[in-house]
Amino acid sequence: MITRFGDARDWFFEKRFGMFVHWGLYALPAWHEQILWRGEITRREYETLPGQFNPVSYDPERWLDAAESAGMEYLCFTTKHHDGFCMWDTQETDYNVMNTPYGRDVLAMLADACERRGILLCLYYSLPDWHHRNYPNQGRHHEMFGPRPGDEPDAGAYLEFVRRQVRELLTGYGPIHAFFWDVNVAELHDPSINDMIRELQPQALINDRGPGPGDYSTPERHVPPGHGFAAPTEACQSMGRESWGYRADEDYYSRLFLMQSVDRILAMGGNYLLNVGPMADGTLPKECVDSLERIGRWYEKVSESFRGTVPASHMLTATETHLFRYDDVLLTRRDNTFYVHAPAALHTGGIVLDGLDHEPESVVLLNDGRRLDWTIDVIPWRWKQRPCLRLRNLPVDEISDEVLVARIEFGHRPAE
Ligand code: GLC
């Protein structure tokens, strides 16, 4: 069981599904947000990109439409990625969005739209900085190969710059609900910056990639082993396989894969941040908009299985011991109501819930509202075990493009 914070940060346990947005100069070459490190472009060339940044079709309301269509309730925006380019009107460097043909504070526009809609805003900020003269680039991973002429590597001075920028971000853009530091390659250590965040925005959670201890972990593009999390967790995943920033010829994940991934993490008690990379004109790729809408139609039907529930998969024994014979299913529960999740394709139309042996009052498939049959049986494969609850006739061939979730109501509370 995850212990809650007991303060304003507990919004995190109510709003579980969010949108990650990676947007910056890297949308122009449209290859990967780290093109400067991974790709064939020089720093000199990259630093001419602000002259071309003019997202005339940027309208944050459209991003929020897409987020809401998926059922997302918060949004995390890249204020500064590793390239060091700042997407707000910062006083700390000229390398920012005001010095582009567009010349508008895109973060301010987004913050206003979020506040109007009641979508909670969170901010991403990269510690590596491939532009700032004080960042100690040494050619480690996610770093430039070394200082260039005129640079003055100085971790202390860099951290003071970071502190001033973080203060700008947390004082100029309304309520901020999480601060998402990224990859602390240089292992910069200064917990007083996190203390400042807590003082300025007490409802903001801080992740574990920053200069001091944080509140939650951020597994990226993978599902940690087990059936639940011991501490607050927010998994993140991009809609495309290769990049977080817009990639022109991206291989997008299938909608089913993304639903499976969202379902598994939420059923384990985590939060899920699903990333989109807007294009250089400010609009979202059609593939993302369409998939978010499809995921949202599913999420709306099954989201009651995540709201106010706790992971209960530890009550199942069959999935642990007979993974290949039985299905990979997860359980969530709210009092006497249980939800069975099938985040991987079911092998048959029957789910064996070894570990539960009470007669339910009803079993309903949330995907289409149909009632499901059930039995309490001794299973031939487990003939020496106690009888257990078996759900019957799930429409595995009929509904194969979304994750199946069933609600089981018991008349009284099954024993733990
Ligand atoms: C990784 C990548 C970075 C991306 C981040 C999102 O750390 O280096 O480009 O922004 O993941 O979590």
Please say if the pLDDT value at position 2 is more than 80.
yes
Burial class (CB in 10 A: 0-12, 13-18, 19+), 84: buried
Task: Say what the pLDDT of residue 371 is.
Answer: 98
> Helix, strand, coil shares of the chain as percentages rounded to 5?
30, 20, 50
Which of 222-231, 249-258, 323-332, 333-342 is predicted least confidently?
323-332
Task: Say what the pLDDT of residue 323 is.
Answer: 52
Task: Say what the pLDDT of residue 326 is.
Answer: 78
Atom of ligand 1 nearest to the CA of 126: 10
Q: Transcribe 86-145 into DSSP letters.
A: BSS--SS-S-BGGGSSS-S-HHHHHHHHHHHHTPEEEEEEES--SS-TTS---S-TTS-S
The answer, yes or no, to whether any atom of ligand 1 lies below 6 A from the CB of 181, is no
CA 6 to chain centre: 22
The answer, yes or no, to whether any atom of ligand 1 lies below 6 A from the CB of 208, is no
3-state SS assignment for residue 238: strand
Please say if the pLDDT value at position 309 is more than 80.
yes
The answer, yes or no, to whether any atom of ligand 1 lies below 6 A from the CB of 220, is yes
CA gap 153, 170 in Å, rounded: 26
Please say if the pLDDT value at position 324 is more than 70.
no
The answer, yes or no, to whether any atom of ligand 1 lies below 6 A from the CB of 33, is yes
| pLDDT averaged over every residue in the chain | 95
Contacts of 14 (CB under 8 A, 6+ apart): 307
CA 389 / ligand 1 centre spacing (Å): 43
pLDDT exceeding 70 applies to what percent of the chain? Answer: 97
Residue with tokens 């940060």: 9
CA 182 / ligand 1 centre spacing (Å): 7
**pTM for this one?**
0.96
Atom of ligand 1 nearest to the CA of 238: 6
Task: Say what the pLDDT of residue 322 is.
Answer: 52
DSSP 79: E
385 band by pLDDT with thresholds 50, 70 and 90: confident
CB-CB contact of 114 with 75 (8 Å): yes
Give Cα separations from 234 to 67, 218, 272, 296 (angstroms).
Answer: 17, 5, 5, 19
Burial class (CB in 10 A: 0-12, 13-18, 19+), 5: middle
Domains of the chain, start order = 8-305 (3.20.20.80), 312-409 (2.60.40.1180)
Average pLDDT for residues 278-306, to the nearest whole number? 98
28 band by pLDDT with thresholds 50, 70 and 90: very high
| Top mutation candidate among 23, 26, 217, 220 for ligand 1, by most atoms within 8 Å of CB | 220
Nearest protein Cα to ligand 1, atom 10: 244
Nearest protein Cα to ligand 1, atom 4: 244
Which of 54-58, 278-282, 384-388 is predicted least confidently?
384-388
Terminal C-alpha separation, the chain: 14
| Top mutation candidate among 182, 222, 236 for ligand 1, by most atoms within 8 Å of CB | 182
Please say if the pLDDT value at position 270 is more than 90.
yes
Please say if the pLDDT value at position 386 is more than 90.
no
Please say if the pLDDT value at position 379 is more than 60.
yes
pLDDT tens string 72-90: 999 999 999 999 999 999 9
Q: Could you tell me the maximum CA-CA distance found in the chain, to the nearest angstrom? A: 76
The answer, yes or no, to whether any atom of ligand 1 lies below 6 A from the CB of 304, is no
Phi, psi of 339 (to 5 degrees): -125, 130
Which residue, among 410, 311, 391, has the nearest Cα to 350 in the 3D structure? 391
Average pLDDT for residues 395-405, to the nearest whole number? 98
